[in-house]
């Protein structure tokens, strides 16, 4: 593996330009492949074609077929090969084409990747970063739109990361690749391409009228386990991640609510200190995520807030989530936690 010889510029010094999330992820992969010859990228259609969402476009041409290559349609084999590569000393970055396809590889992730460091008393590690698009936004229905993040947060030894902006996507992905433990890196496809144009006769949502974000050139990383306070406020604390950060922020702005909005960014490890400080200040907590409600990550957040902030709470904790149903196709927009349901939860919190 190559060693770093020069210290990178600070973020304030580095030039930047506006990228969407796909471009930022592609750039993060390129940066890490240039810095470390042990970083390899592989998965279904990621090589010659550049991935179904084009997140790996151009990487095979630049780094060659030995470091960026296509695999059979075999998620168990993809993850299993990555575990072996990691134990051998590489830093594999396998892509699972959709998060819905990750279940055949679950045994390798849970029984092998997450346990390797512990089972070998630290002699071997699995420094793998499993990238996968997740969530709705493309009318993919039950097999292309799921949000299974809670399954992975339950597994000791796995880290789970979900960015909400191109800037964070690049910095968090670089940090994940550098991490010596396995990381699940979920990419919200609904905000992959910057401004969301809508499908069929659906209008563009106000929160989606953004043009990506400023992303510094070159290398930078964002520490895993550190949440971001998107907006400071006094009326309530809003906890969210991925796409839901933008939806919840738009609702609070439209209603004129002085909410403190926290982007978790990393579910495991979780920045509970930032959450605790905020809820103790505001006395109210709203949790928003796209995944199904029962045993979703919001349930763990609710329990943690209750345990740590009980005497500061002025209202019951509210959760706005997806429904406990298989993911619908034609009713995708109703399934999402949208402005109406989030707005009703905000009103209940303020009236309590």
- Give me the number of domains the chain comprises: 2
The structure tokens 């989606």 sit at 208
Q: How many CB atoms lie within 10 A of CB 33?
A: 22
* Confidence check: pLDDT of 207 > 50: no
**Among 216, 239, 261, residue at a domain's last position:** 216
The DSSP element (H or E) to which 93 belongs, if any, is strand 91-95
Spatial contact of 286 and 246, defined as CB atoms under 8 Å apart: no
The pair of three-digit structure tokens given for residue 251, joined into one six-digit string: 């609702």
Give, rounded to a whole angstrom, the gap between the first and last alpha carbons of the chain: 57
| CATH number, residue 154 | 3.40.50.970
Confidence (pLDDT) at 11:
60
Q: List pLDDT tens digits, range 28-79.
A: 999 999 999 999 999 999 999 999 999 999 999 999 999 999 999 999 999 9
Confidence (pLDDT) at 5:
36
In whole angstroms, give the CA distance from residue 23 to residue 54.
9
Contacts of 294 (CB under 8 A, 6+ apart): 324
List the beta strands (DSSP E) in 105-157: 129-134
Residue 2 lies in a domain: no
Pair 189, 96 in one domain: yes
Residue 166 lies in a domain: yes
Residue 208 lies in a domain: yes
Known catalytic residues?
Answer: 144
In sign, the C-alpha dihedral spanning 196, 200, 201, 202 is negative
The structure tokens 């240039």 sit at 34
Pair 61, 176 in one domain: yes
Confidence (pLDDT) at 211:
56
% of the chain beyond a pLDDT of 70: 91
Where does 114-215 have alpha helices with state H? 116-119, 149-153, 166-178
Q: How many CB atoms lie within 10 A of CB 205?
A: 17
Pair 47, 94 in one domain: yes
In whole angstroms, give the CA distance from residue 319 to residue 303.
12
**Among 216, 251, 276, residue at a domain's last position:** 216
Pair 20, 130 in one domain: yes
* Mean pLDDT for all residues in the chain: 91
**Among 216, 241, 257, residue at a domain's last position:** 216
Residue 6 lies in a domain: no
Pair 30, 151 in one domain: yes
In whole angstroms, give the CA distance from residue 123 to residue 1.
18
Pair 57, 82 in one domain: yes
What is the average pLDDT across 317-333? 88
Residue 140 lies in a domain: yes
Residue 7 lies in a domain: no
* Confidence check: pLDDT of 254 > 60: yes
For residues 208-241, one letter each, b for 16 or more C-beta atoms within 10 angstroms of the residue's C-beta and e for the rest, the string is bebebbebbeebbbbebbebbebeebebbbbbbb
Confidence (pLDDT) at 131:
98
In whole angstroms, give the CA distance from residue 257 to residue 250.
10
Range of the domain at 337: 228-351
Pair 32, 105 in one domain: yes
- The SS3 assignment for 315 reads coil
Pair 149, 36 in one domain: yes
Confidence (pLDDT) at 199:
34
Q: List pLDDT tens digits, range 273-305.
A: 999 999 999 999 999 999 999 999 999 999 999
In whole angstroms, give the CA distance from residue 269 to residue 163.
14
Pair 236, 307 in one domain: yes
Residue 5 lies in a domain: no
Backbone phi, psi, residue 309, to 5°: -130, 20
Pair 261, 156 in one domain: no
Please give the model's pTM, rounded to 2 decimal places. 0.92
% of the chain beyond a pLDDT of 90: 82
Backbone phi, psi, residue 18, to 5°: -85, 125
The pair of three-digit structure tokens given for residue 19, joined into one six-digit string: 């990228």
Q: List pLDDT tens digits, range 89-145.
A: 999 999 999 999 999 999 999 999 999 999 999 999 999 999 999 998 877 878 888
Residue 309 lies in a domain: yes
Give the angle subtended at the CA of 84 by the CAs of 78 and 85, to the nearest 5°.
85
Confidence (pLDDT) at 8:
47
Distances, alpha carbon 213 to alpha carbons 29, 53, 210, 253, in Å: 18, 19, 8, 19
Pair 183, 234 in one domain: no
What is the average pLDDT across 231-239? 98
| CATH number, residue 319 | 3.40.50.920
Q: How many CB atoms lie within 10 A of CB 190?
A: 23
Pair 243, 316 in one domain: yes
């Amino acid at each position: 593996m190559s060693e770093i010889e020069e210290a990178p510029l600070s973020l304030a010094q580095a030039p930047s330009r506006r990228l969407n999330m796909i471009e930022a992820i592609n750039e993060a992969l390129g940066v890490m492949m240039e810095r470390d010859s042990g970083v390899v990228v592989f998965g279904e259609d990621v090589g010659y074609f550049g991935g179904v969402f084009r997140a790996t476009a151009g990487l095979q041409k630049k780094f060659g077929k030995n470091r960026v290559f296509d695999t059979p349609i075999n998620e168990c084999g993809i993850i299993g090969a990555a575990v072996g590569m990691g134990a051998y000393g590489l830093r594999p970055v396998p892509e699972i084409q959709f998060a819905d396809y990750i279940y055949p590889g679950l045994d390798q992730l849970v029984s092998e990747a997450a346990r390797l460091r512990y089972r070998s008393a630290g002699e071997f590690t699995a420094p793998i970063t499993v990238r996968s698009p997740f969530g709705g936004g493309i009318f993919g229905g039950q097999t292309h739109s799921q949000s299974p993040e809670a399954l992975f947060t339950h597994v000791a030894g796995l880290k789970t990361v979900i960015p909400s902006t191109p800037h964070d996507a690049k910095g968090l992905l670089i940090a994940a690749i550098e991490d010596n433990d396995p990381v699940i890196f979920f990419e919200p496809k609904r905000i992959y391409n910057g401004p969301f144009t809508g499908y069929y006769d659906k209008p563009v949502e106000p929160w989606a009228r953004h043009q990506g974000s400023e992303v510094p050139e070159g290398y930078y990383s964002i520490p895993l386990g550190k949440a971001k306070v998107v907006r400071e406020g006094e009326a309530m604390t809003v906890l969210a991640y991925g796409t839901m950060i933008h939806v919840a922020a738009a609702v609070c702005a439209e209603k004129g609510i002085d909410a403190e909005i926290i982007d978790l960014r990393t579910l495991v490890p979780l920045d509970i200190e930032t959450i605790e400080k905020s809820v103790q200040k505001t006395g109210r907590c709203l949790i928003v995520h796209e995944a199904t409600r029962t045993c979703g990550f919001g349930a763990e957040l609710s329990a943690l807030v209750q345990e740590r902030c009980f005497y500061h709470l002025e209202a019951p904790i509210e959760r706005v989530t997806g429904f406990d149903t298989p993911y619908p196709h034609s009713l995708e927009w109703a399934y999402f936690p949208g402005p109406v349901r989030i707005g009703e939860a905000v009103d209940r919190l303020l009236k309590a």
